[in-house]
Amino acid sequence: MVRDTELKLAFWRYGSTKAERLAAAALRLSGYEQIDPQSPLGGPDGTKDILCRKGGLTWVGAVHFTGSPVRFAAIKKKYNSDLFGAPDGPQGFVFVTNQTLSPSQRKLLADLAEANGREAEILHLQQLVNLLDSPPGYSRTVDSPTTISVFSCRNRVQMRCAVCRCLRGARQSASRIASMYDSAGASFGRSRSGFFRSGGTALARACRTSRR
């Protein structure tokens, strides 16, 4: 079964700004630090979407989100363009894409970066799905104002409704139990009162009979 997150990622409809912000959140979930999006709102960024650090190295991040799956040749072309257009300073190159890549395809791309003297890492579709559907990823995609809230929105509403139903049911159960106790207490009080009244009447009758 294809998950909602996977479909929204694979058929991206939220523009480049949100793509870069989501990529920055995914990098943070992957252990990158000092994440610095260069120009997510548009404008020249020097062929570097994101600068960040990991493992004592400076990394340049490139983001590649398309509206639907594309051929590997197109992904490789974009990868090469971002890799060879990146500034010389950073020692690592991380490529964040909403495309599905096989292990052999990822290795081929990583080898291109390493041949260029850089460490390489690729965050592809399935990695993004796993990151964003994890508990830390949920907080990034739903609660963070810097990323999108479309992921798990329906699930969040369903969860809230379920919690509300549980709380409502608990309150109703507590009310019913309290009402049962009140009714039982009142019935017991009436029964006890009737018992003592009937006992007193019988005693009085017995006394009158004995005098006779």
Q: Which tens digit of pLDDT belongs to each residue from 54-108?
A: 999 999 999 999 999 999 999 999 999 999 988 888 899 999 999 999 999 999 9
- Three-state SS at 151: coil
Out of 3.30.460, 1.10.20, 3.30.450, 3.40.1350, select the CATH number for domain 4-151: 3.40.1350
* Domain regions of the chain by residue span: 4-151, 161-212
Strand ranges in the chain using DSSP code E only, listed in sequence order: 33-37, 50-54, 57-64, 92-97, 119-123
Q: What pLDDT, on a 0 to 100 scale, did the predictor assign at position 164?
A: 56
Distances (CA, A) of 123 to 4, 98, 153, 170: 19, 8, 23, 44
Q: Which tens digit of pLDDT belongs to each residue from 133-188?
A: 888 876 555 444 444 444 555 555 555 555 556 556 666 666 666 666 566 555 55
69: Cβ–Cβ under 8 A, 6 or more apart, which residues? Answer: 10, 99, 100
Pick from 43, 39, 114, 126: nearest CA to 83: 114
- Cα–Cα distance between 122 and 76 in angstroms, integer? 12
Q: Which spans in 89-147 are helix H? A: 103-115, 125-132, 135-142
Pairing between β-strand 57-64 and β-strand 50-54 as defined by DSSP bridges: antiparallel
